[in-house]
């Protein structure tokens, strides 16, 4: 850890907290974050020459693992033609056609540069389209660091949001109503009393930023029905789940159709990209043909489009989802068995290539439940795994990701390391 440590010391002097995104700092699990020198397939190599099996996958994007030859080739071809044009380019059209073809509800799409931009723009569009100001979000769902979405539930029955970060004005937060996830009645009640003020409901259909929470039967259908009834725009934030839980994301998996969808992560193939799309009728409210302004100097950047197109084509040509699902099941059931045989309370929610560890007795249905988990147990387990060559996300509120580059040998090695790491509870 010598090289990582000295880099971190240097970084802390000139980058706040030494990192460019907070969870990378290992604050919740303790210790010094490792710095990565390079990555290939399922493995990271740190600047201290340690090899780690990676279950963070750059926080979701790396569904093909690291440095996939096809993606590298596509970027390199694009690079030879120039890095940015500031005019329309052919790759943007190809990318839009792919997204429209693969994501069921998307009829038109606009590219941007991050998931945060995608959700921010989708919300502005929903407001411009409906002429209403308020939005509903759910506790525990993360939608990027947009002001109006960095809001937590207020106290009491009234659901007006409170800022969840310094620097977010209370007056902005007041435009966001925060309700519990998986509780359809609270949505029905809120819309019954104030639907004429509500522009949109934004939801991570499978919340994956507070650990992993699965929707109860009928919940997403219920949101769809209520939004249709009250003329509220339903936004699925599929920045995480899009192309990870199937080519068409959660909407394909469940057959439930949102009005707008936010995308990011996988569609950039490892470069910075976001996108939002949906019904023509709504999308055509965007500038330059509609009144809702949205723009970006580097939006549709040719390198990012090339990486994204290559990534999506790989998924389309040989969908890895069945294999990912079976690896997900193997790891989650392995973990559950190991914990059970030792009498350690552990929940391992899993869907496809996503799973997480909640050290608690009962299934986590709402964000509140996840706060009851024993985070100190997760932190101990995280560090035990890291020591043995496994990189899990450095917070119990994050989700583990498996990539198509993970092989049988990675999974069996991982199960061995899990088994050994349980010794941290002895
Ligand atoms: C990561 C994420 C975002 C934010 O995307 P960035 O590219 O980090 O801005 C938004 N919503 C969800 C569900 C995410 O997982």
pLDDT in tens, 127-156: 999 999 999 999 999 999 999 999 987 655
Domains: count for the chain: 2
Instruction: Locate the ligand 1 atom nearest the alpha carbon of residue 114 and give its number.
Output: 7
Ligand 1 centroid distance, CA of 264 (Å): 7
The residues annotated as belonging to the active site are: 142, 237, 265
Residues 104 and 239 in one domain: yes
Pocket test for ligand 1, best of 116, 137, 267, 398 (most atoms within 8 A of CB): 116
For ligand 1, atom 6, name the residue with the nearest CA.
115
Q: Which pLDDT does position 162 carry in this prediction?
A: 86
Residues with CB under 6 A from ligand 1: 114-116, 119, 142-144, 204, 209, 237, 239-240, 264, 274
Instruction: Locate the ligand 1 atom nearest the alpha carbon of residue 272 and give its number.
Output: 7
Pocket test for ligand 1, best of 113, 138, 142, 299 (most atoms within 8 A of CB): 142
Domain closes at, from 317, 348, 382: 317
Residues 244 and 192 in one domain: yes
Residues 214 and 293 in one domain: yes
Residue 385, SS3? helix
pLDDT in tens, 222-281: 999 999 999 999 999 999 999 999 999 999 999 999 999 999 999 999 999 999 999 999
Instruction: Locate the ligand 1 atom nearest the alpha carbon of residue 59 and give its number.
Output: 1
- Is the distance from CB of 54 to CB of 391 less than 8 angstroms? yes
Residues 50 and 121 in one domain: no
| Residue in 111, 31, 99 with CA at minimum distance from that of residue 298 | 111
CATH number at residue 278: 3.40.640.10
Ligand 1 centroid distance, CA of 265 (Å): 7
Domain that holds residue 38: 4-63+320-425
Residues 112 and 258 in one domain: yes
Q: Which pLDDT does position 161 carry in this prediction?
A: 80
Ligand 1 centroid distance, CA of 144 (Å): 5
For ligand 1, atom 5, name the residue with the nearest CA.
115
Instruction: Locate the ligand 1 atom nearest the alpha carbon of residue 237 and give its number.
Output: 13
Residues 307 and 325 in one domain: no
Q: Which pLDDT does position 157 carry in this prediction?
A: 47
For ligand 1, atom 11, name the residue with the nearest CA.
143
Ligand 1 centroid distance, CA of 157 (Å): 29
DSSP at 373: S
Ligand 1 centroid distance, CA of 13 (Å): 27
Residues 308 and 370 in one domain: no
Ligand 1 centroid distance, CA of 209 (Å): 9
Pocket test for ligand 1, best of 60, 111, 122, 264 (most atoms within 8 A of CB): 264
CA dist 105 and 144 (Å) reads 22
Residues 77 and 17 in one domain: no
Q: Which pLDDT does position 371 carry in this prediction?
A: 87
Q: Which pLDDT does position 159 carry in this prediction?
A: 59
pTM of the model: 0.97
CATH number at residue 42: 3.90.1150.10
Residues 244 and 390 in one domain: no
Q: Give the pair of three-digit tokens for residue 197.
A: 């003020």
386's torsion region: left (phi>0), alpha (psi -120 to 50) or beta?
A: alpha
Residues 52 and 73 in one domain: no
Q: Which residues of 219-250 are buried (b: 16+ CB within 10 A; e: fewer)?
A: bbebbbebbeebebbbbbbbbbbbbbbbbbbb
- Helix, strand, coil distribution of the chain in percent, nearest 5: 45, 15, 40
Residues of the chain with pLDDT under 50: 157
- Is the distance from CB of 264 to CB of 275 less than 8 angstroms? yes
Residues 159 and 213 in one domain: yes
Phi, psi of 81 (to 5 degrees): -105, 0
Q: Which pLDDT does position 78 carry in this prediction?
A: 98
Ligand 1 centroid distance, CA of 240 (Å): 7
Pocket test for ligand 1, best of 115, 149, 249 (most atoms within 8 A of CB): 115
């Amino acid at each position: 850890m010598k090289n990582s440590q000295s880099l971190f010391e240097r970084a802390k002097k000139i980058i706040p907290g030494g990192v460019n995104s907070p969870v990378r700092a290992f604050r919740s699990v303790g210790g010094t974050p490792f710095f990565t020198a390079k990555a290939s397939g399922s493995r990271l190599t740190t600047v201290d020459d340690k090899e780690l099996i990676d279950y963070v996958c750059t926080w979701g994007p790396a569904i093909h693992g690291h440095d996939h030859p096809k993606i590298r080739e596509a970027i390199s071809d694009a690079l030879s033609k120039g890095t940015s044009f500031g005019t329309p380019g052919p790759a943007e059209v190809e990318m839009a056609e792919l997204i429209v073809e693969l994501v069921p509800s998307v009829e038109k799409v606009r590219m941007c540069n991050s998931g945060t931009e995608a959700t921010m723009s989708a919300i502005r569009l929903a407001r411009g389209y409906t002429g209403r100001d308020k939005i509903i979000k759910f506790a525990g769902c993360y939608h990027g660091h947009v002001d109006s979405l960095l809001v937590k539930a207020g106290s009491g029955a009234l659901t007006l949001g409170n800022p969840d970060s310094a620097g977010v004005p209370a007056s902005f937060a007041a435009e966001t109503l925060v309700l519990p996830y998986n509780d359809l009645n609270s949505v029905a009640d809120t819309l019954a009393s104030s639907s004429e003020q509500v522009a949109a409901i934004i939801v991570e259909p499978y919340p994956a930023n507070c650990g992993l929470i699965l929707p109860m039967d009928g919940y997403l259908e219920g949101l769809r029905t209520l939004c249709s009834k009250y003329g509220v725009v339903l936004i699925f934030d599929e920045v995480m789940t899009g192309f990870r839980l199937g080519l068409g994301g959660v909407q394909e998996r469940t057959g439930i159709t949102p009005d707008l969808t936010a995308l990011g992560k996988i569609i950039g193939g490892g470069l910075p990209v976001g996108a939002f799309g949906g019904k023509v009728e709504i999308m055509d409210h965007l500038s330059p043909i509609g009144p809702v302004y949205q723009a970006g100097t580097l939006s549709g950047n040719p390198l990012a489009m090339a990486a994204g197109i290559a990534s999506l084509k790989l998924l389309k040509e040989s969908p890895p989802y069945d294999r990912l699902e079976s690896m997900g099941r193997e790891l989650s059931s392995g973990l559950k068995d190991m914990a059970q045989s030792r009498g350690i309370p552990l929940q391992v929610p899993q869907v496809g290539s996503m799973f997480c560890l909640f050290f608690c007795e009962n299934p986590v249905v709402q964000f509140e439940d996840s706060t009851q988990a024993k985070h100190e147990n997760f932190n101990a387990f995280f560090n035990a795994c890291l020591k043995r060559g496994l990189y899990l996300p450095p917070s119990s509120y994050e989700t583990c990701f498996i990539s198509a580059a993970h092989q049988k040998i990675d999974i069996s090695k991982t199960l061995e390391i899990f088994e050994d790491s349980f010794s941290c509870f002895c």
